Each structure stands twice: as structure tokens, then as C-alpha cells.
Amino acid sequence: MQPHNSNRTRPAQKQDLYALLQAELSALIEGESDFIANLANAAALLYHALPDLNWAGFYRLIGEELVLGPFQGQPACIRIPLGQGVCGTAAVQRTTIIVPDVHQFAGHIACDSASNSEIVIPLIRGDQLLGVLDLDSPLLGRFDEEDRFGLEAIAAILVAT
Ligand code: SME
């Protein structure tokens, strides 16, 4: 694993940026089987590379709750019951959820008042739900189908470790 240089110029096109991030993540986690360490590097990579984020991180499924994992951003809610909030809903439905305006999502859990939009991607290995990847943005409508596609590929890389 080589140290990551977050200062270098990154592609402006979303699709190209995700392709680069997927390659960088694969390089970062190559040969490393510690899941928490890999989630920690992924959170740092995404937070510093993707524009307009105020939070990027993971919740891990422990029992019937999602428990705060590695993240970048302000301190966040520690435990989210399955089925609650955007994270708990994405976990139960086992599908990515894009929320263009968190203030319109019934049951949204506000951890950081700066958040206006959110995307949550479930981490699924085989048929086992491991947790979720959660990104928050201060911009309304920050996340689209390109983000979904790119971040689902990031999740696939992580669950393969
Ligand atoms: N907003 C999330 C909670 C986690 S924080 O955004 C980091 C939710 O509604 O599940």
C-alpha cells in the first residue's frame, strides 16, 4: 500500500473521477484484509476527493443496529436501528437511496445541520449485509445516478476484501 497523495489534480468529469478513485482504492487496500482499516482509508479517500461533501463514512451492522464506523467529517450519531433514517432504510431495503433534500425525507436523522442531501449505499457480501456507506452534502441534489454507479463500484471493491 502506497501513501495517498490527495493534492494531485483530479479529473473534472464525474465518471473519470470515480474510475480513478476505484483504482486508488484498489491500490490502497491491496493485500490488506483488515476491514476497518480499509473502510478508514476509503472514507478518507472519498471525503478528500469528491467535491461538496460535509461527511463521508460507514456504519457497520452489529446485531439489529448500524454502528458508527470509520468516517471523515463532524462527529455523528453512533447507533441507528435498522429501518430508521436514510441509513437504516437503505440497509433494510438493501438498495442505494439518494435523497436530494434530506428535509423532505420522513425520518431523516440529522447528525450535521450542514447536510442538505445524502446518498447511502449498502455493503453486501454474498447475502450478508455488512453495513452502509453514507455521504452527505451541504448542496441540495448533490448526488445523481453517476454517483450511485461510482459508489456502488467502490462498495463492491470493499466487500471483496
Ligand atoms: N442522515 C443519516 C444519519 C447518519 S449521518 O448523516 C452521518 C440517516 O438519516 O440515516
The grid coordinates listed for 74 are 463532524
Residues with CB under 6 A from ligand 1: 55, 76-77, 80, 85-87, 108-109, 111, 115, 118, 134, 136
pTM score of the predicted model: 0.94
Using alpha carbons only, what angle is made at residue 130 by residues 67 and 125, rounded to the nearest 5 degrees? Answer: 170
Model confidence band, residue 10 (pLDDT cutoffs 50, 70, 90): confident
pLDDT-derived band at 1, boundaries 50, 70, 90:
low
Does residue 4 carry a pLDDT above 90? no
Residues 6+ apart with CB under 8 A from 3: none
pLDDT one-digit tens code per residue, 64-81: 999 999 999 999 999 999
Write the DSSP string, 24-89. Answer: HHHHHHTT---HHHHHHHHHHHHHHHSSS-SEEEEEEEETTEEEEEEEEES---SEEETTSHHHHH
Is-contact 28 1, C-beta < 8 A? yes
Confidence at residue 3, expressed as pLDDT on a 0 to 100 scale: 54
Pocket test residue of 53, 67, 71, 109 for ligand 1, highest count of atoms within 8 A of CB: 109
The CB density around residue 100, as the number of other CB atoms within 10 Å, is 16
Q: 100-156: per-residue pLDDT in tens?
A: 999 999 999 998 899 999 999 999 999 999 999 999 999 999 999 999 999 999 999
